Amino acid sequence: MRQKTREVRDREILSAMLDQITILHLAIRNTPFPYIVPLNFGYEWQGDELVFFFHSAKAGMKLDLLRQDPRVCINAAAFISYAGDPYKGHLHDYRSVTANGIATEIDPETEHDIFMHAHECLLHHNNREMQPGDEAAMRFISMWQIRCPADMVWGKAEIVPHSVEKVPFYTGPGDGTAISEQHILDHATKSAE
């Protein structure tokens, strides 16, 4: 990452950032251009891996491409504008989590417990609960997991939260701090050296 001062690697902060985001974008290898699709998702840390879960129909371009090459990149992001009322000298803020990983389909027959757990993670992240009929309907969906090694997961923010409590965006009035684009000038000077 070019601007290391904006990088987030702390797992608790990364998780808190993901908890604020409802959509991830899944980038899949395709020719002649990459294919990207928005998804709702669930996630959890399992040891040294961040595991994302998503579901879909049982057929389609996304699944065809994943079965050809399961190496993927995901990004989940949120943005807030402070235009007209700056906060900490900024006109906006964002939270972004990016990861590289391997996507695998979860077999509902041989991996039933994992399939159900993935579904529960997805529901939990989307503030939903299992409903009557959900388990019967699951035989018509495909459930996937994306396993991302911790060293392939990184976050970024304009105003970096240094604790879980600071992850939610500030939504109050501006704080009167003058807008400063000095960070752009500082970076340009370092790049020119």
- Domain range for 174: 4-192
* pLDDT number for residue 175: 80
Q: What is the CATH number of the domain that holds 115?
A: 2.30.110.10
For residue 176, give both structure tokens: 């009167």
pLDDT of 1 > 60? The answer is: no
* pLDDT number for residue 42: 96
* Alpha helices, DSSP H, located in 1-111: 11-19, 61-68
Per the prediction, the chain carries an average pLDDT of 89
How far CA 189 is from CA of 19, 77, 156, 183, 184, in Å, comes to 36, 29, 22, 10, 9
pLDDT of 140 > 70? The answer is: yes
> Residue 163: phi, psi to the nearest 5?
-155, 160
Predicted confidence band at 128 (pLDDT cuts at 50, 70, 90)? confident
As to burial, measured by CB atoms within 10 angstroms (0-12 exposed, 13-18 middle, 19+ buried), residue 182 is exposed
Predicted confidence band at 82 (pLDDT cuts at 50, 70, 90)? confident
Instruction: Identify the CA nearest to 19 among candidates 170, 167, 172.
Output: 167
* pLDDT number for residue 133: 62
* pTM higher than the cut 0.75: yes
Q: Find the range with the poorest average confidence among 10-14, 71-75, 158-162.
A: 158-162
Structural domain total, the chain: 1
Selected residue with higher pLDDT from 81 and 51:
51
Q: Residues 94-107: pLDDT tens digits?
A: 999 999 999 999 99
* pLDDT number for residue 136: 65
* pLDDT number for residue 184: 65
For residue 147, give both structure tokens: 């396993």
Could you tell me the sign of the dihedral formed by the alpha carbons of 71, 128, 134, 121, in that order?
positive
